[in-house]
Amino acid sequence: MVEQNVVNLLHEGRIGLAPMEGVIDAHTRALLTEHPGFDWTVTEFVRVVDVRLPPRVFYKHCPELTQARVATPHGIPVHLQLLGSDPTALAANARQAVSLGAVSLDLNFGCPAKTVNRHDGGASLLRDPRRLERAVAAVHQAVEGAVPVTAKVRLGFSDRLRALDCALAAERGGAASLVVHARTRDEGYRPPAHWEWIGRIRHALRIPVIANGDIWTLEDYWKARTLSGCPDVMLGRGALADPFLAPRIRHWQRTNERLPATSWAVRADILCTYAALQRSTLPERVVVSLLKQWLNQMRARDPEAARRFQTLRRETRLDPFLAGLAEHTPAASAVHQACRPPAAALAT
């Protein structure tokens, strides 16, 4: 009964796939949206400094721009993210993105990377809400309502004193919605995420606020929604740790049933499919690094993933790495099938 009430309460919430630089590219977006769960995805950030970037930069970050619908192969919209602080440069690049077909623009005010912050990008704008507002307003005016402009923030740079001011500044600038990663920049990715702070922001704003940070399980999803009061959430690392997290949430919302835990065989299949996609364009050593990165995220949620990571962490050759994933894995024939490089890669 309690669970049914919770399901009723949580019905209808939307789920976004978080942007993750160096991790979530078009192939990852395609794999993670293969089963119903996510409602939208966001590209890695396009770094805007001072000039209008050439189309190839936008196509690299968002290959989906070349299609009639800017969406994953399963029809889930892809929003394009810009990171920068100069309003004029942001405006010029926003216009460029729209001219290339972008359907929604997101502005990154959360990136904690030292190099980015030193050059006045990402979370560094959280120190001055007026500058954040000017950046959002410049992009909003530049696109003249052709596409929605959204923003993504943290709770602050070193402290939370300006959390509300920054959120209000984004709203005043014309943001259509706001994702809040419930930590300050200085808190990095350390738990806990302060979901109750997202609730404070939600109370102060009229635009939709989307809760982000540390949602790894159904229980976390329930807590994040309850403490923030936000219907919509965004999943980052949790979706890599359990590629079925969004479908799991969606299934639970709709049926009140829990899907079984994601098995190692399914995880191995996803990793091998990912490798097959990546090896057609990237050097094998890079593909191995990407696989290790994803396997590393899976470790916390799956003991077999942890064991394989331990065994394979020094392997740098792709085929032995893939063999190590497939070895003694149930339904290995399907896994082997997925491990095969695409025909195009074999031909070159």
Ligand X SMILES: Cc1cc2nc3c(=O)[nH]c(=O)nc-3n(C[C@H](O)[C@H](O)[C@H](O)COP(=O)(O)O)c2cc1C
Q: Which residues are annotated as a binding site?
A: 81, 152, 181, 212-214, 236-237
Tokens of 157: 């740079």
Residue 341 binding ligand X, by CB under 6 A: no
Residue 155 binding ligand X, by CB under 6 A: no
Least distance in Å: CB of 296 to ligand X? Answer: 11
Query: What is the three-class DSSP state of 327?
Result: coil
Sign of CA dihedral 254, 80, 149, 210: positive
Least distance in Å: CB of 348 to ligand X? Answer: 30
Residue 20 binding ligand X, by CB under 6 A: yes
Of 62, 111, 166, 339, catalytic: 111
The answer to whether the bond into 192 is cis (omega within 30° of 0) is yes
CB closer to ligand X, 139 vs 335? 139
Question: What are phi and psi for residue 107, nearest 5 degrees?
Answer: -110, 130
CB 46 within 8 A of CB 61: yes
With CB under 6 A as the contact rule, which of the stretches 138-146, 195-203, 235-243, 257-265 interacts with ligand X?
235-243
Per DSSP, the residues of 155-211 read EESSSSTTHHHHHHHHHHHT-S-EEEEEEESTTTTPSPP-HHHHHHHHHH-SS-EEE
The answer to whether residue 111 is catalytic is yes
Q: Which residue shows structure tokens 């159904």?
A: 218
Among 45, 157, 244, 264, binds ligand X (CB under 6 A): 45
Query: What is the three-class DSSP state of 120?
Result: coil
Q: At what angle do helices 2-10 and 245-255 cross, to 10 degrees?
A: 110
CB closer to ligand X, 82 vs 277? 82
Residue 187 binding ligand X, by CB under 6 A: no
CB 205 within 8 A of CB 174: no
Residue 236 binding ligand X, by CB under 6 A: yes
Residue type at 124?
A: S
Tokens of 217: 């399980």
Residue 160 binding ligand X, by CB under 6 A: no
Between CA 144 and CA 166 the distance in angstroms is: 23
Among 108, 184, 253, 297, binds ligand X (CB under 6 A): 108
Least distance in Å: CB of 346 to ligand X? Answer: 31
Residue 273 binding ligand X, by CB under 6 A: no
Least distance in Å: CB of 29 to ligand X? Answer: 13
Least distance in Å: CB of 18 to ligand X? Answer: 3
Q: Which residue shows structure tokens 């919605």?
A: 177
- How many residues line the site for ligand X (CB under 6 A)? 23
Residue 232 binding ligand X, by CB under 6 A: no
List of residues contacting ligand X (CB under 6 A) = 18-23, 44-45, 81, 108, 110-111, 152, 181, 189, 212-215, 235-238
Q: What amino acid positions are annotated as catalytic residues? A: 111
